[in-house]
């Protein structure tokens, strides 16, 4: 994608740079989200200008002129771009995401004065098939946390950390990026609350229960000081709530491994990462009687539609239980 971006006309490249600054600075999106939006915009502009990755070993067309900008981007180009993606085998979910990304770009380009008319509202997109997320049962989640607790009984610092991470993820449903970004000052043990900085730099308070409180206290009192003593000097480690083996702020890859290993200790549990624990927490909250609005607030979902996905999970599980247990199912 970097080579394609470098091959864009200079005028369009400047528009793309301006769009990237808008996403990062004005909208405050995460690096991952900015990268995804910009990647789609690069693909769209490459289609608009018929840009191919240059081959240094071959002679050929010099490509579009450097002053070619985005003014020619209309509904036909948008539809042609999606058609090309479909021809390459893109799924309906991918096409739907790219349609939304394309509309975001054209709306911004119109507001910024690069397009006279915004063609985005005329672009329809396929309805994606939303697969039901895999979740642990409440029994499986309990078994995973009991296994993590037995390992922590030996007071091994890494085992104390891993138990605290698993308990916190399941108790709060926070995203892995949110957990890795937690500072010590974000944990209020007296009120059992986490201050979480979510997507779009939106701050929310998330409660946690007694088991997570016990695990966090054990980690902060007996585990973290030992790892912090061997701190390698990496940025942000002094304030980080969770540390890696070398004393720096823990990274998402390490947390994913911790979750995979924790779930692997439960016979019959589907393999999953931190997002699977987030799904599990939401599902169990709804099964326990929590209302959708409360779960939306806890998880930091921007829209209620995202939270409503979990209602389908609970219905499917009820149907499976009915089919398995009712004599006339």
- The catalytically annotated residue of 103, 249, 278, 284 is 278
98 a catalytic residue: no
Which distant-in-sequence residues (6+ apart) come within 8 Å of 254 by Cβ? 244
Q: Which residue is associated with the tokens 């010099």? A: 62
Any idea what DSSP says for residue 193? E
Name the maximum alpha-carbon separation found in the chain.
73
- The catalytically annotated residue of 79, 110, 199, 204 is 199
**Structure tokens that stand for 270 in this block:** 């589907």
- The catalytically annotated residue of 47, 49, 175, 224 is 175
> Which of 180, 210, 220, 215 has the alpha carbon at shortest distance from 196?
180
37 a catalytic residue: no
Which distant-in-sequence residues (6+ apart) come within 8 Å of 23 by Cβ? 29, 33, 34, 37, 38
- The catalytically annotated residue of 97, 110, 275, 317 is 275
Quick check: 165 and 261 in contact, CB under 8 A? no
234 a catalytic residue: no
Quick check: 192 and 207 in contact, CB under 8 A? yes
Quick check: 172 and 208 in contact, CB under 8 A? yes
Instruction: Judge residue 67's burial from the number of C-beta atoms within 10 Å of its C-beta, 0-12 exposed, 13-18 middle, 19 or more buried.
Output: exposed
Q: Which residue is associated with the tokens 């701050």? A: 203
Alpha helices in the chain (DSSP H): 2-7, 10-21, 31-48, 75-87, 92-111, 138-152, 157-172, 176-180, 210-218, 224-229, 252-264, 274-287, 292-299, 304-325
Quick check: 115 and 105 in contact, CB under 8 A? no
- The catalytically annotated residue of 5, 114, 279, 301 is 301
199 a catalytic residue: yes
Which distant-in-sequence residues (6+ apart) come within 8 Å of 236 by Cβ? 248, 249
- The catalytically annotated residue of 19, 37, 170, 310 is 310
Determine the 3-state secondary structure of 72 from DSSP: coil
The catalytic residue positions are 175, 199, 275, 278, 301, 310
């Amino acid at each position: 994608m970097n080579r394609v971006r470098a091959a864009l006309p200079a005028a369009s490249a400047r528009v793309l740079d301006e769009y990237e600054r808008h996403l990062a600075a004005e909208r405050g999106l995460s690096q991952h989200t900015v990268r995804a939006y910009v990647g789609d915009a690069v693909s769209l502009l490459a289609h608009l200008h018929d840009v191919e990755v240059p081959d240094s070993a071959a002679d050929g067309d010099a490509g579009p002129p450097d002053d070619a900008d985005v003014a020619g981007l209309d509904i036909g180009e948008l539809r042609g771009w999606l058609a090309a993606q479909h021809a390459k085998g893109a799924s309906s979910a991918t096409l739907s995401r790219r349609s939304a990304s394309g509309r975001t770009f054209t709306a911004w380009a119109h507001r910024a004065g690069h397009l006279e008319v915004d063609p985005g509202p005329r672009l329809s997109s396929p309805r994606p098939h939303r697969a039901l997320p895999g979740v642990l049962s409440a029994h499986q989640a309990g078994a995973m946390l009991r296994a993590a607790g037995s390992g922590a009984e030996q007071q091994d610092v890494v085992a104390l950390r891993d138990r605290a991470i698993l308990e916190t993820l399941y108790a709060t449903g926070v995203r892995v990026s949110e957990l890795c970004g937690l500072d010590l000052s974000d944990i209020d043990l007296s009120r059992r609350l986490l201050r979480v900085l979510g997507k779009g730099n939106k701050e929310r308070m998330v409660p946690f229960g007694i088991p997570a409180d016990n695990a966090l206290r054990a980690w902060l009192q007996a585990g973290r000081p030992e790892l912090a003593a061997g701190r390698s000097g990496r940025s942000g480690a002094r304030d980080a709530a969770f540390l890696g083996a070398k004393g720096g702020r823990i990274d998402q890859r390490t947390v994913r491994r911790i979750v995979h290993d924790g779930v692997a200790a439960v016979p019959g549990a589907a393999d999953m990462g931190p997002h699977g624990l987030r799904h599990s927490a939401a599902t169990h909250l709804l099964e326990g009687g929590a209302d959708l609005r409360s779960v939306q607030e806890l998880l930091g979902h921007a829209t209620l539609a995202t939270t409503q996905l979990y209602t389908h999970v609970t219905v499917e599980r009820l149907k499976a239980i009915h089919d398995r247990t009712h004599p006339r199912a």
